[in-house]
Amino acid sequence: MDDAVDSSPSSGGGRPGMPVEECQDYIQKSFKSSLLLNFYAGLDPKVRFLKEHLEKSGCRIGSNFIKAANCGEKAAAGGFTRGFGIVVCSNHVELQDQVEQVVIHELIHAYDDCRAANLDWTNCAHHACSEIRAGHLSGDCHYKRELLRGFLNIRGHEQECVKRRVMQSVTANPYCSEAAAKDAMEAVWGTCYNDTQPFDRAP
């Protein structure tokens, strides 16, 4: 399992977010079939690209594979769970771009889960590898996003960001201590950072 998602209702005082229904509409909008429409609407074509490659790998995405939900205060913005699909936490996102970013990140985990029959989410190295790939290939660590988060280091920012976010996710895995997460990330970094499938190169 990737980023753990608490699907219990959020209890007051959290991020404003958006209604579940609106988030679900944004999810559907991100899968628009026309690349031209995506371009003019400002939608990210990586969503459609990843869906197509998941299906080419034998993993069809049904209409209920990606769901919006109201998540707990401490939940991540979304998560992928084998056998259940992807959840986008509507109360942790506010814009179409944020919804798409969560969907892209989680679709990379879904793709990894699909193509690797022996992927074990309780294995710290396996989890770290998919997080490295998702962080690197999704655009999570684009410098503009980092600036908005308050991280101002331009030189080497992308790899530092990926490592920081990998550690956040893998240490949340109940099977991985902080030391185990760090060792796992360092052990697989070179191989997984350079694995850009299904893209020809990092977008």
Which residues are known to be catalytic?
106
> What is the residue type of 125?
A
Tokens for 14, please give them: 């959290």
Neighbouring residues of 46: CB distance < 8 A, sequence distance ≥ 6: 104, 138, 139, 203
> What is the rounded distance in angstroms from the CA atom of residue 137 to the CA atom of residue 195?
9
Q: Are 116 and 146 in contact (CB under 8 A)?
A: no
Are 81 and 22 within 8 A, CB to CB?
no
DSSP class of 151: -
Give the DSSP H/E element, type plus range, for residue 102.
Answer: helix 96-115
| Amino acid in position 187 | A
Instruction: Name the burial class of residue 171, with classes exposed (0-12), middle (13-18) and buried (19+) by CB atoms within 10 angstroms of its CB.
Output: middle
How far, in Å, CA of 174 to CA of 6, rounded? Answer: 14
